[in-house]
Amino acid sequence: METSYSYKLKSHPNKLLIDHLKEVTNYAVYLLERHQLFAQRPEWRTIIKNLVRLMGNYHDITKAIEYFQHYCCRPITR
């Protein structure tokens, strides 16, 4: 089994997994704040924001497995 390093893992053929996870997390937090989804209970703001960050950071974590990395980076044949 080959050792993987997070700075080499891919989420898409031309995108690093770490960059993809950060982008999704930042966009999810942006949407949360833009739509004020915590407006009815402002005291929940920190809790909800932290949960959204966790979901964004881990939503594609299985892309770090060796099988997906081989699948993602294989040459496209037609």
pLDDT tens-digit map of 31-41:
998 988 776 77
Q: Residue 61 corresponds to which amino acid?
A: I
What pLDDT band is residue 1 in, cutting at 50, 70 and 90? low
Domain for residue 7, yes or no?
A: no
Alpha helices in the chain (DSSP H): 17-34, 45-58, 66-73
Domain for residue 31, yes or no?
A: yes
Identify which of 73, 52, 54, 78 has the alpha carbon closest to the alpha carbon of residue 63: 73
Domain for residue 33, yes or no?
A: yes
**Structural domain of residue 33, as residue ranges?**
25-73
Domain for residue 16, yes or no?
A: no
Domain for residue 29, yes or no?
A: yes
Domain total in the chain: 1
What pLDDT band is residue 60 in, cutting at 50, 70 and 90? very high
